[in-house]
Amino acid sequence: MADVLVIGAGPAGCVAATVLARAGARVRMLDRSTFPRPKLCGDTVNPGTVALLRRLHLADGLETRGLRIDGMAVTGASGLRVEARYPRGQHGIAIVRRELDWLLLQDALAAGVEFEPGTFVRRAIVDGTRVTGAEIVCGSSMHALRAPVTIAADGRHSTIAFGLSLARHPNRPRRWAMGAYFDGVRHDAPTIGEMHIRAGRYVGVAAVPGGLTNVCLVKSPAGGEFAHRSPRDVFLDEVSRDSVLTDRLAGARLVSGPVVLGPLAVDAVPRSMDGLLLAGDAAGFIDPMTGDGLRLAMQGAELSAAVALEALEHGWPGIGVRLARARRRALAPKWRFNRMLRAVVGSAAAISASTVGARIAPSMLQAVIRYAGDCGQT
C-alpha cells in the first residue's frame, strides 16, 4: 500500500508527489488523462515560479524548451500602456502547458512515483470522519485504493473537494476563459508578456515556441451569450475588435481552439478532514490575470507535501490546522492582492480610476506588475 495517494498529475500533483517521493515516501499518483495532454493556460511561467522550480530542482528543460520573458506590458481601453521589466537576474518563461506538465511528470517518475494515467476517481472513501483513500474506475473495473494520506490535486472541479463539500464555485465572479493559438500574430516586443485589461474582461497574449501565439480571453458572459452564440464567435469577436489587438491579428490564422473553461473561481471551505489534504486549484483558485496561478499551486503543493510527511511520521492530530496556518503565511498576501485586482476588473469605474492613476504615476503600476510576477520569490 502507498503511503500517499495523490489524485491529479498536474503541476500541483507532480510537485507534491515528487517532494514526497524524494523524502522516501511511497507515492501513488492518479490522473484521468494520459500525458502529454493539452491544457488551457496562458502558457507563461512567471519569475517567482521559475525560482521555485529551480529551488526544487524541477523541470530542468524549462529554459531550453521555452521562450524567455523579460517583463510585462499592461494596456487599458483608453490607449494607456505601461511596461515593466523584471529585475536584473529574473525572468519568466513562455512554454506550452502540455510541455511543462510533461517535464514535471518526468521528474515525478524519476523520483520513484508510481503513476496510473487514464484512471477516473469516482469519490473519496470516508471511514467515519476520516478519508482513507479513493474509489477509482479503471477501464471497466472499479476498486478502492487506500492510503494513510490522500492529496487531492485534481483541479478546479475537484471530484474529491466538491464531493466532500470542501470547495465551491462562488456566485461572483462567474468568469470563463477562452484560449486559442494563432499563427502570424505581429509582436513588437516578443520577450514581453501582455495583459490587456478592459471593463469586465481581459486578454493575455504570449508568443510561445513554434512561432505560435497564445491568446487567452477571460470574461463574464453577458445575458447568457454562450446560449445564443458559439464560444468561437464570442472569442473572435472580442479579440478582433479590441483597439490594441485588431491590427496585430489582421491576417493571423487561428490554428486551434478556442477551448472554453469555467467558471474559474473556486473558494475552499475553511474545514479539514483527517487523512485528506488539498493542493493546487482544488484548494482555491481566483483568476489567471496575474499569471501567478502556477506559483500559488506549486507552493501550496510543497506545503501539503511537508505536512503529509509530518502526518506519516507523527500522526494526524493538528495537521489540518498546521497546513492552514502555513498556507496563510505563505499565500494569503497574494490572495488578497488577486482579489483586489479581480474586483477592479469587474468594475468599469475602478478601471477608469486605475487608468487615471497609472497615467499620473506609472511607477505604481510597474510595481504592481513586478509583484504580480512574484519577483523576489524563491
**CA distances (Å), 149 to each of 24, 261, 303, 310, in order?**
14, 30, 14, 11
The residue count for the chain: 378
201 and 337 in a single domain? The answer is no
Residue 223's pLDDT band, with cuts at 50, 70 and 90, is low
pLDDT, tens digit (0-9, with 9 covering 90-100), for 272-299: 999 999 999 999 887 666 677 899 999 9
pLDDT, tens digit (0-9, with 9 covering 90-100), for 85-143: 898 889 999 999 999 999 999 999 999 999 999 999 999 999 999 999 999 987 778 88
Residue where the block lists cell 490607449: 79
Residue 349: predicted pLDDT? 56
Amino acid at 362: P
- The Cα 275–Cα 148 span in angstroms is 6
Residue 98: predicted pLDDT? 95
**Residue range of the domain that includes 237:** 44-95+176-261+347-378
**For the chain, what is the radius of gyration of the CA atoms?**
21
288 and 324 in a single domain? The answer is yes
Residue 174: predicted pLDDT? 80
> Is a pLDDT exceeding 80 seen at residue 378?
no
> Is the alpha carbon torsion for 154, 171, 224, 196 positive or negative?
negative
200 and 335 in a single domain? The answer is no
67 and 123 in a single domain? The answer is no
Are 339 and 185 contacting, i.e. CB atoms less than 8 angstroms apart? no
> Residue 37 CB: number of other CB atoms within 10 A?
16
Residue 361: predicted pLDDT? 57
Q: Considering its fold, how many domains does the chain have in total?
A: 2
127 and 229 in a single domain? The answer is no
Average pLDDT of the segment spanning 230-247: 87
Residue 355: predicted pLDDT? 58
pLDDT, tens digit (0-9, with 9 covering 90-100), for 64-76: 999 999 998 888 7
5 and 131 in a single domain? The answer is yes
- The Cα 136–Cα 168 span in angstroms is 22
pLDDT, tens digit (0-9, with 9 covering 90-100), for 15-33: 999 999 999 999 999 999 9
pLDDT, tens digit (0-9, with 9 covering 90-100), for 310-319: 999 999 999 9
Residue 226's pLDDT band, with cuts at 50, 70 and 90, is low
74 and 182 in a single domain? The answer is yes
Residue 75: predicted pLDDT? 85
Residue 157: partners with Cβ closer than 8 Å, 6 or more residues away: none
272 and 370 in a single domain? The answer is no
181 and 224 in a single domain? The answer is yes
Classify residue 87 as left (phi > 0), alpha (psi -120 to 50) or beta: beta
240 and 133 in a single domain? The answer is no
- The Cα 111–Cα 314 span in angstroms is 23
Model pTM above 0.85: yes
- The Cα 47–Cα 44 span in angstroms is 10
72 and 104 in a single domain? The answer is no
148 and 235 in a single domain? The answer is no
CATH code (residue 67): 3.30.9.100
CATH code (residue 318): 3.50.50.60
> Is a pLDDT exceeding 80 seen at residue 325?
yes
Residue 136: predicted pLDDT? 94
